[in-house]
Structure 1
Amino acid sequence: MRIEIENLHVAYAGRTVVSGAGLIAADGEITGLVGPNGSGKSTLLRTVYRHLKPVAGRVLLAGTDLRRLSPVEAARHVAALPQERGGDFELTVREVVAMGRTPYKRAFAGEDAADRDVVARALADVGMEGHTGRRFTELSGGERQRVLLARAFAQEPDVLVLDEPTNHLDIRHQVELLALLRAGRRTTLVSLHDLNAAASVCDRLHVLHDGHVVASGPPREVLRPALLAEVFGVRATVVDHPLTGDPLIAFDHRAPADGAGIPLSAPGDVLGAGPGRSLR
């Protein structure tokens, strides 16, 4: 299913964090949000999975305003892995993942064979099938991340919303997660700090800066040295990855970008705000 965000304005803790954002996550594509800390990525995602209510603008799911759906209807379509991981569940790994089936169950209804199959498959997808009886509280940060991702998979959503899903994962599990997202071809809206991971896994990127979408397009078109300098304040060059051919960003770790910290012009004047436009 397609997600479309129209002229979104979101305030959080008394200040405007997202201002006039518009973007599209196309059906079956992986759409990435990248930008510096504080640029509004997590706030924007929170409006998609209905944790925050926008001041203005809409989030549309296949043309329907998500706010018009009941919580149960929304949960059947959209599953989220937020940065806030919640409290320590006094549950087993399997019980946590089985929570993903809640939108499909009537009150006090038990599991059926279909639920058990979905949960088993979700655990296998994240490599946690051998840990079903362990307590969630006993897990490492990376293991918890994988279990919560399995819970999202168990919802069988049309849309996945993932906020920094590679946090706490070692390199092997980062690679496995990104491969799993590519193979799934489910509509996915994901924020990533790792620009090389974003360039590898995402079909399209939207760059946020100070609450505005300042560039949009395929990774190779968006991740240009000029944008990296102006938005992220780093010197970098972009080459082809020797193994995959994806864009590979090589950063200069010895010095910041020339002119780093210079404010951006009005959104769209320099980088081209809005879907379908990118820095050239």
Structure 2
Amino acid sequence: MRIDIEDLHVTYAGRTVVAGAGLIAAEGEITGLVGPNGSGKSTLLRTVYRHLRPAAGRVLLSGTDLRRLSPAEAARHVAALPQERGGDFELTVREVVAMGRTPYKRAFAGEDATDRDVVARALADVGMARHAGRRFTELSGGERQRVLLARAFAQQPDVLVLDEPTNHLDIRHQVELLALLRAQRRTTLVSLHDLNAAASVCDRLHVLHDGRVVASGPPREVLRPALLAEVFGVRACVVDHPLTGDPLIAFDHRAPEPDGPDVPLSAPEQCSGLVPGGHTGERP
């Protein structure tokens, strides 16, 4: 299934946070949202998993307005890992993950063999199978993150909506999570602060700035020095990753991009010596 967001407007606390956003998350692809803090990424995602109601516009699931589905039906199609992680569950890890089976169960219905298999597989996928009996409250932030991702997997959704899923994860578990998302090839809409992670894992990126989509396309076409300077206010070069060949953004951490129309952006020739075969962000 695919997600189509059409002319979306969202207001929050009397302020317009998303203004006329339109984008597509294609079936089976990983679609990334990137942008500065306050650009509207989380607000847009909240409308997709129905935590917020848009002031105007629609979110379509393969042509059907998500607002027309019942909560249980929507949860069978769309699973979310929001930034706000919920409370401290007085449950075991396995019990938290089993909550993902709720959209498939009648009231007071117990687990069946399918539920047990799905939960076990979800725990294994995120590397938490051996922690199934631990209390959720005993876990580190990164472990909790993986358990909540397993809960989303246990919903067996057509679409995953992930808001900063690599938060709290150490580098190994970040790499493992991104590899898992690629391997699943499930329709995924994900917001990421780490632009290099976004360039590595996403098939397509949408850049948000002040609540609007200002650029869309494959990572190599979107992540250009001029856009990084304009939207994020940083000086950067885009080169080829020496191990994977993915776009790799090298930031100038000494100072932000200076303001003013007379200040030149990072020149392509400044990037050429960073790695062999360095890519400047311009198409060959």
Per the normalisation by structure 1, the TM-score is: 0.93
Change in CA separation of 1:111 and 1:19 when aligned onto 2, cut-off 3 Å:
same
Change in CA separation of 1:28 and 1:113 when aligned onto 2, cut-off 3 Å:
same
For 1:257 and 1:202, the matched residues in 2 are separated by 26
Q: Where do residues 14-53 of structure 1 align in structure 2 (5 Å cutoff)?
A: 14-53=14-53
1:258 deviates by 3.0
Change in CA separation of 1:261 and 1:178 when aligned onto 2, cut-off 3 Å:
farther
SS of alignment partner, residue 46 of structure 2: helix
Give the AA of the match of 1:4. D
Q: Where do residues 210-249 of structure 1 align in structure 2 (5 Å cutoff)?
A: 210-249=210-249
Per-residue CA distance 1:109-128 (angstroms, 9 max, x = gap): 00000100000000000000
For 2:160 and 2:199, the matched residues in 1 are separated by 18
Give the AA of the match of 1:62. S
State the partner residue of 1:272. none
State the partner residue of 2:254. 254
For 2:12 and 2:141, the matched residues in 1 are separated by 27
Conserved 8 A contact 1:28-1:185: yes
Give the AA of the match of 1:64. T
Change in CA separation of 1:261 and 1:165 when aligned onto 2, cut-off 3 Å:
farther
SS of alignment partner, residue 220 of structure 1: helix
Which consecutive aligned stretches of 4+ in structure 1 deviate over 4 angstroms post-superposition? none
For 1:240 and 1:259, the matched residues in 2 are separated by 28
Give the AA of the match of 1:42. S
State the partner residue of 2:65. 65
Per-residue CA distance 1:240-272 (angstroms, 9 max, x = gap): 00000000000000111132799xxxxxxxxxx
Give the AA of the match of 1:6. E
State the partner residue of 1:8. 8
Give the AA of the match of 2:90. E
For 1:259 and 1:188, the matched residues in 2 are separated by 36
State the partner residue of 2:162. 162
For 1:261 and 1:146, the matched residues in 2 are separated by 45
For 2:162 and 2:46, the matched residues in 1 are separated by 10
Change in CA separation of 1:68 and 1:259 when aligned onto 2, cut-off 3 Å:
same
State the partner residue of 1:276. none
For 2:163 and 2:111, the matched residues in 1 are separated by 29
Q: Where do residues 1-280 of structure 1 align in structure 2 (5 Å cutoff)?
A: 1-259=1-259
Give the AA of the match of 1:209. H
For 2:258 and 2:219, the matched residues in 1 are separated by 23
SS of alignment partner, residue 193 of structure 1: coil
Q: Percent identity?
A: 91
Change in CA separation of 1:62 and 1:260 when aligned onto 2, cut-off 3 Å:
farther
Give the AA of the match of 1:116. R
Higher CA-based Rg: 2
State the partner residue of 1:269. none
Per-residue CA distance 1:163-213 (angstroms, 9 max, x = gap): 000000000000000000000000000000000000000000000000000
For 2:130 and 2:251, the matched residues in 1 are separated by 39
For 1:13 and 1:98, the matched residues in 2 are separated by 34
Q: Structure 2: where are the runs of 5+ without partners? A: 263-281
SS of alignment partner, residue 17 of structure 1: strand
Change in CA separation of 1:260 and 1:251 when aligned onto 2, cut-off 3 Å:
farther
SS of alignment partner, residue 101 of structure 2: helix
Over the aligned positions, Cα root-mean-square deviation in angstroms equals 1.4
Give the AA of the match of 2:205. L
Conserved 8 A contact 1:49-1:80: yes
Give the AA of the match of 1:19. A
SS of alignment partner, residue 216 of structure 1: strand
SS of alignment partner, residue 162 of structure 2: strand
For 1:140 and 1:241, the matched residues in 2 are separated by 31
